[in-house]
């Protein structure tokens, strides 16, 4: 019963904050709503029994990426962001205008409608594996998988992170003009 | 609580991320949309791992998606900062240097 | 080694009595037990936060050879209640140009981040509210919310002092997360798991079994963890974001009354949690100096007392350090983290890993006693 309650809370938090990311005028508020959405997704991982992935999600996204976005907004003149390119018809500058929202919403709707039918019929392809209330811990198994089956991806991701670290530092360093 | 519900949530999240990416004009807002799309995909993997297969490959793949998203957000935001240093704005319509 | 409070209590007889009271509804009983214990823990920590302010004033007065608060109640011990009443009755001001939503959200995020870590704190070997298999990892992850709240508090106030304080505070917190996490990782390596039950189980018995004395690398890791944790909670010589003489009051300049109370309470409770984690990971937590075969509730209460003693000892050291050392400049702070603590922490992790491989995870005491 509590798993269902957690599922409902997390799902509503996720979708509500995601919609708020799309419609908020202020870019700082959008970042905070993204934070809420990511915490909701961590809750959804928890209902799936993926404890390690949920905690990694909170650690990496909340503790790292959202703060990174907030810093980037501050360093690029964030909330005073004014567009000089086109007439915005009353909407806030960071939002785009009616054309972009029209195109975006229609693309979204097309994508949604084509895939909803597919997803609703997915239960015929996979037999419903009813799971009980057992949530075995995943930490040891993920550890085994990472160093046995997926060791190549593990090592490559460390190289990727090194490359991203060095690249980001070089691209954004202050230049002597 | 079944597979379908998680897939629907992930689909809605993906569509909202798509709408954010297409319709907003601030580069950082576009990066927010990218994060939503990556999270929707990761949720999909974990849901399949729970309901269909018996192993934890989906969890491992979600971890790698999180890692890649972190690296890409860092580099993307570094590019945004460099863009701001050159153009003094982060409106996406100012990125026209490759246009003829 | 993975249990919750309810599953621990279910091995006693009175649990069945309670179960019959609730009409055999296990879920409802579990919820009620969690609710009662959450209330007890929150009340306890709020009192500790309040008494922490009193302890700070008294200890600082002792160090500076004055008396400190001694008017309200015997030895001034009710001073924190008077402070609380004062804070609640203050006017709730918000600057006109401040960002309303973020201004309201920042203190709440700080408190959410800190109180959520109380769920995995090991008060004793059995009284862990939720002994998650990713316990210590969860604690580090949730504490990152405080960093976001510091930044938001600084930004939303829309004033220069707050903005500077907020930027410095957020960068300090995210920088010092790295040596702290790597030190905790070394202990995870030694213990073989991230759950507090596993880590405490490895430290049973005499103090030679504590992870502090396990090997030289764990010894250094304790000090790296302690210094990093001081910096993470914006405490001690690292409190530039809230420095009184420099930035007025840093990121909580514009906050008055109970909102400021939220920030202050979050800081004091976070210091308590960090000291609690330090005593559980390195100093043996609530373990008794001898091992027993039976398990009764009063024994658990003794363990709680032992845990609180060790934690409050570390708390005293934190307060002591604050009034002894001068404040660090922001560039000194950053260079300590990136140039000194992080390489030392990585060296500790590698050293611990090598030790585990070479000596099969035995501590120095075991090697010495098993040698002859």
Contact A15 B47 (CB under 8 A): no
Residue A2 with chain C: CB contacts under 8 Å: 27, 31
Task: Point out the least confidently predicted range of A72-76, A91-95, A126-130.
Answer: A91-95
Residue C196 confidence (pLDDT) above 80: yes
Give me the mean pLDDT over the C192-218 stretch: 87
Residue B100 lies in a domain: no
Chain B neighbours (≥3 Cβ pairs under 8 A) are: A
- Check: CB of residue C255 under 8 Å from CB of residue C107: yes
Residue B67 lies in a domain: yes
Distance in angstroms (rounded) separating the CA atoms of residues C218 and C228: 15
Identify whether the C-beta of residue C228 lies closer than 8 Å to the C-beta of residue C341: yes
CA B8 – CA A170 distance, rounded (Å) = 41
Chain centroid to CA C70: how far?
Answer: 28
In the predicted structure, residue A87 carries a pLDDT above the cut 50 = no
**Which secondary structure element, helix H or strand E, spans residue A149, and what is its range?**
none
CA nearest neighbour of C196 among C124, C145, C141:
C124
Do the Cβ atoms of B82 and A149 come within 8 Å? no
- Reported as a single tens digit per residue, the pLDDT across C104-122 is 899 999 999 999 999 899 9
Residues with Cβ within 8 Å of C202's Cβ and at least 6 positions away in sequence, in order, are C190, C191, C192, C209, C211
Query: Does the residue B78 lie in any domain?
Result: yes
Mean pLDDT of chain B: 90
8 Å CB contact between C125 and C200: yes
The partner residue sitting opposite B57, judged by closest CB among A60, A84, A145, is A145
Facing C132 at nearest CB: one of A1, A51, A74:
A51
| pLDDT higher than 70, residue C267 | yes
Tokens 């993920």 found at: A142
B74-82 mean pLDDT: 93
What is the mean predicted confidence (pLDDT) over C145-168?
83
Give CA–CA dist B40/B6, Å, rounded.
10
CATH of the domain at B61: 1.10.287.3510
Judge contact between C19 and C26, C-beta under 8 A.
Answer: yes
Does pLDDT of C372 surpass 80?
Answer: no
SS3 letters across chain C: CCCEHHHHHCCCHHHHHHHHHCCCCHHHHHHHHHHHHHHHHHHHHHHHHHHHHHHHHHHHHHHCCCCCCCCCCHHHCCHHHHHHHHHHCCCCCCCCCCCHHHHHHHHHHHHHHHHHHHHCCCCCCCCCCECCCCHHHHHHHHHHHHHHHHHHHHHHCCCHHHHHHHHHHHHHHHHHHHHHHHHHHHHHHHHCCCCHHHHHHCCCCCHHHCHHHCCHHHHHHHHHHHHHHHHHCCCHHHCHHHCCCCCCCHHHCCCCHHHHHHHHHHHHHHHHHHHHHHHHHCCCCCCCCCCCCCCCHHHHHHHHHHHHHHHHHHHHHHHHHHCCCCCCCHHHHHHHHHHHHHHHHHHHHHHHHHHHHHHCCCCHHHHHHHHC
pLDDT of residue B47: 92
Q: How confident is the model at residue A91 (pLDDT cuts 50, 70, 90)?
A: very low
**Residue A1 C-alpha from the chain's centroid:** 27
Tell me, what's the pLDDT at A89? 45
Instruction: Please tell me which residue, C185 or C1, carries the higher pLDDT value.
Output: C185
Q: What are phi and psi of C89, to 5 degrees?
A: -85, 5
d(CA C112, CA B43): 25
Please tell me the distance in Å from A129's CA to the nearest CA on chain B.
Answer: 6
Q: What is the pLDDT of residues C298-333, one digit of tens each?
A: 888 889 999 999 999 999 999 999 889 888 888 898
Q: Is residue B99 part of a domain?
A: no
Owner of token pair 């060296």:
C347
ipTM: 0.92
- What are the tokens at A120? 């609703």
- Look at residue A60 in the predicted model and tell me its pLDDT: 94
The Cβ-side half-sphere exposure at A121, using a 13 Å CA radius, reads 4
Name the one residue in this structure whose structure tokens are 């003489």: C245
Neighbouring subunits of C (3+ Cβ pairs under 8 A)? A
- Touching status, chains B and A (3+ beta-carbon pairs under 8 Å): yes
Most confident of A127-136, C184-193, C339-348: C339-348
Range of the domain at B54: 3-94
In a domain, B43, yes or no: yes
Task: Give Cβ neighbours of residue C315 (< 8 Å, ≥ 6 apart).
Answer: C52, C55, C271, C272, C275
Do the domain assignments include residue B47? yes
- Look at A76 and B14 and tell me if their CB atoms are within 8 Å: no
Structural domain count, chain B: 1
Give SS3 for B26: strand
Question: What pLDDT, on a 0 to 100 scale, did the predictor assign at position C286?
Answer: 83
In a domain, B28, yes or no: yes
Name all chains with 3 or more CB-CB pairs below 8 Å to chain A: B, C
The whole-model pTM stands at 0.91
pLDDT tens digits, C157-180: 777 777 877 888 888 999 999 999
Average the pLDDT over C21-33 and give the result.
79
pLDDT band at C1 (very low <50, low <70, confident <90, very high): very low
CB B57 within 8 A of CB A145: yes
State whether residue A1 sits within 8 Å of chain C by CB. yes
A–C contact: 3+ Cβ pairs < 8 A: yes
pLDDT at residue A165, as a whole number = 93
């Amino acid at each position: 019963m509590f798993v269902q309650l957690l599922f409902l809370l997390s799902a509503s938090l996720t979708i509500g904050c995601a919609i708020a990311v799309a419609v908020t005028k202020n870019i700082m508020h959008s970042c905070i709503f993204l934070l809420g959405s990511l915490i909701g997704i961590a809750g959804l991982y928890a209902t799936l029994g993926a404890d390690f992935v949920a905690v990694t999600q909170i650690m990496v996204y909340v503790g790292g990426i959202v703060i990174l976005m907030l810093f980037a907004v501050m360093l690029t003149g964030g909330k005073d962001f004014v567009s000089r390119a086109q007439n915005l018809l009353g909407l806030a500058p960071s939002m785009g205008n009616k054309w972009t929202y029209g195109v975006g919403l229609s693309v979204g709707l097309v994508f949604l409608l084509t895939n909803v039918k597919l997803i609703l019929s997915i239960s015929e392809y996979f037999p419903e594996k009813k799971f009980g209330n057992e949530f075995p811990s995943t930490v040891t198994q993920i550890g085994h998988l990472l160093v046995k089956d997926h060791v190549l991806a593990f090592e490559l991701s460390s190289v990727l992170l090194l490359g991203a670290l060095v690249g980001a530092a070089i691209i954004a360093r202050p230049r002597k003009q | 609580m079944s597979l379908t519900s998680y897939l629907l949530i992930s689909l809605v999240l993906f569509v909202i991320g798509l709408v954010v990416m297409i319709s907003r004009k601030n580069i950082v807002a576009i990066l927010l949309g990218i994060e939503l799309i990556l999270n929707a995909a990761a949720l999909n993997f974990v849901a399949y791992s729970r309901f269909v297969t018996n192993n934890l490959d989906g969890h491992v793949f979600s971890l790698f998606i999180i890692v890649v998203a972190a690296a890409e957000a860092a580099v993307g935001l570094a590019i945004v900062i460099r863009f701001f240093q050159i153009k003094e704005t982060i409106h996406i319509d100012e990125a026209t240097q490759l246009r003829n | 080694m993975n249990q919750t409070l309810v599953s621990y209590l279910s091995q006693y007889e009175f649990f069945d009595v309670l179960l019959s009271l609730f009409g055999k509804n296990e879920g409802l009983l579990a919820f009620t037990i969690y609710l009662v214990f959450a209330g007890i823990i929150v009340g306890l920590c709020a009192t500790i936060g309040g008494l922490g302010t009193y302890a700070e004033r008294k200890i600082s007065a002792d160090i500076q050879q004055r008396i400190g608060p001694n008017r309200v109640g015997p030895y001034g011990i009710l001073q924190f209640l008077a402070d609380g009443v004062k804070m609640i009755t203050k006017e709730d001001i918000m600057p006109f140009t401040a960002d309303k939503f973020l201004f309201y959200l920042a203190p709440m995020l700080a408190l959410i981040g800190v109180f959520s870590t109380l769920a995995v704190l090991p008060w004793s070997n059995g009284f862990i509210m939720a002994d998650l298999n990713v316990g210590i990892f969860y604690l580090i992850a949730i504490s990152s919310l405080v960093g976001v709240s510091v930044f938001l508090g600084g930004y939303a106030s829309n004033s220069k002092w707050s903005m500077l304080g907020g930027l410095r505070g957020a960068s300090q917190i995210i920088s010092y997360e790295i040596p702290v996490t790597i030190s905790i990782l070394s202990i995870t390596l030694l213990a073989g798991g991230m759950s507090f039950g596993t880590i405490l189980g490895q430290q049973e018995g005499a103090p030679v079994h504590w992870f502090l004395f396990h090997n030289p690398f764990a010894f250094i890791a304790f000090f790296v963890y302690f210094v990093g944790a001081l910096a993470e909670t914006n405490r001690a010589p690292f409190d530039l974001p809230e420095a009184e003489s420099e930035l007025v009051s840093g990121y909580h300049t514009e906050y008055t009354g109970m909102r400021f109370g939220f920030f202050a309470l979050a800081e004091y409770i976070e210091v308590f949690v960090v000291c609690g984690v330090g005593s559980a990971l390195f100093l043996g937590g609530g373990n008794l100096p001898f091992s027993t075969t039976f398990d009764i509730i009063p024994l658990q209460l003794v363990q709680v007392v032992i845990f609180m003693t060790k934690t409050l000892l570390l708390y005293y050291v934190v307060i002591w350090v604050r009034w002894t050392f001068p404040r660090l400049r922001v560039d000194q702070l950053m260079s300590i983290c990136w140039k000194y603590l992080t390489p030392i922490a990585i060296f500790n992790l590698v050293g611990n890993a090598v030790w585990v491989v070479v000596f099969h995870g035995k501590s120095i005491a075991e090697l010495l006693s098993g040698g002859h």
